[in-house]
Amino acid sequence: MQPEVKSVPFLDLSSQYRGLEAEWFDAIRATGARGSFILGPNVQAFEQEFAEYVGVKHAIGVANGTDSLILSLRALGVGPGDEVITTPWTFFASAETVSLVGATPVFADIRPDTFCLDPESVEKCVTPRTKAILPVHIFGHAADMDAIMQIARERKLVVMEDCAQSFGARSGGRVTGAIGDAGSFSFYPTKVLGCYGDGGMITTNRDDLNEHIRRLRNHGAVRPFVHTEIGMNSRLDEIQAALLRLKLRGIDQDIAARRSVAAEYTRRFAGTPVRAPVALAPDAHSYNLFTVRLPKRDAVREAFVQAQIGHSLCYPQGLHLQDVYRHLGYKPGSLPVTEQASSEVLSLPVYPGMPAGHIARVCDVVRGVVG
């Protein structure tokens, strides 16, 4: 007889799906019966509900998180000749979109505790060409927005928050996405608020940005067949919006469940060499990822493979050292806090409803390697 293999998934999307399936299918059937598939009532209602949750005037549904960055940067007037200060410790899209609009990403270093942009390093990167700061609330921890907004005010810069990983996290009591000029969200399935396909949202309190982004997401059209600028086809899908409305209702419980998984890991790692993620305030982290720093990281990774424990290496390299950005002139040692993080981190399984036995198993395997 084969021994029982107790594998631990990195996340389990299907159990949550089963709980939503009946209501979602009812909504899909209603959409079909109505025949209203593009920018229909679910997108409109979800935009309103999302804006209320985040605490902003406007929310604009788009096709994915990458487009939400492109469209916001364009609406903010970021383009060729401009520099955008951002973090190298993020998914590629945060910097890729700066390049896509023709601007240049300038990488500041990160704080060692939260992995988010270090305001002191940001300050040092400002030049006469700087147009924007693009903080990323990485892994679900809110960046230090008070300090970043102060730099922006003093230097007359715009601030574009990348909230793809931080739905519901707060900085100084305000929900991420409600603090800068605009906030960009992804509904990629693994996100805190994820859909079952692609989707994205832009938040803003600025009426001018709202109007401009709504035009840009729909081919730059001011009315049917009248185009005043080059836009895109980037609209949130009606069927995904119907699902996201259902998920938004339970999101506070989901975030609370992620926080209790994080608390249990943190309790179990106390007194070991494992450095669990820091939350600077109880509401600062929504734990899209639970990323620890470890001695013997690669040995732990190997032990996870043997034990069939899902994990992710976010991120193996700062974006400043990616080949595609070689022309920007960064070298190993340019951003030491980021580079140290990339040699030490590992992201452990975390999702609402993660069984206590799985948390215990992950911790046992880690402790078996690091002591």
CA distance 72 to 203: 9
Q: Using a CB cutoff of 8 Å and minimum separation of 24, what contacts does 220-227 make? A: none
Angle at 364 between CA 360 and CA 365, to 5 degrees: 120
**Sequence-ordered strand ranges (E) for 98-199:** 104-107, 130-134, 158-162, 170-171, 174-175, 182-186
Shortest separation between residue 174's beta carbon and ligand PLP, angstroms? 19
Shortest separation between residue 272's beta carbon and ligand PLP, angstroms? 28
Shortest separation between residue 307's beta carbon and ligand PLP, angstroms? 26
Shortest separation between residue 68's beta carbon and ligand PLP, angstroms? 8
Shortest separation between residue 97's beta carbon and ligand PLP, angstroms? 8
Cβ distance to ligand PLP smaller for residue 94 or 176:
94
Question: Which residue's structure tokens are 């991120």?
Answer: 315
Pairing state between β 174-175 and 170-171? antiparallel
Cβ distance to ligand PLP smaller for residue 115 or 269:
115
Shortest separation between residue 65's beta carbon and ligand PLP, angstroms? 2
Cβ distance to ligand PLP smaller for residue 182 or 300:
182
The answer to whether residue 347 forms part of the interface with ligand PLP (CB under 6 A) is: no
Cβ distance to ligand PLP smaller for residue 83 or 162:
162
Shortest separation between residue 248's beta carbon and ligand PLP, angstroms? 17
Helices (H) and strands (E) in the chain, counts: 12, 13
Which residues in the 128-167 window bind ligand PLP by CB under 6 A?
A: 136, 162, 164-165
CA distance 149 to 162: 14
CA distance 342 to 336: 10
CA distance 327 to 225: 41
Residue 288 tokens read as 């899209």
The answer to whether residue 65 forms part of the interface with ligand PLP (CB under 6 A) is: yes
Under 8 Å CB-to-CB from 197, ≥6 apart: which residues? 189, 237, 240
Cβ distance to ligand PLP smaller for residue 8 or 136:
136
Which residues in the 181-200 window bind ligand PLP by CB under 6 A?
A: 186, 188, 198, 200
Shortest separation between residue 160's beta carbon and ligand PLP, angstroms? 11
Question: How many residues of this chain interact with ligand PLP, rule: CB under 6 A?
Answer: 15
Binding track over 70-99 against ligand PLP, x by CB under 6 A = --------------------xx-xx-----
Under 8 Å CB-to-CB from 58, ≥6 apart: which residues? 47, 51, 203, 204, 205, 206, 207, 209, 210
Contact stretch for ligand PLP (CB under 6 A) within 11-19, 58-66, 105-113, 337-345: 58-66
Under 8 Å CB-to-CB from 32, ≥6 apart: which residues? none
**From candidates 31, 42, 64, 210, binder to ligand PLP by CB under 6 A:** 64
Q: Please give the residue ranges that form the binding site for ligand PLP (CB under 6 A).
A: 64-66, 90-91, 93-94, 136, 162, 164-165, 186, 188, 198, 200
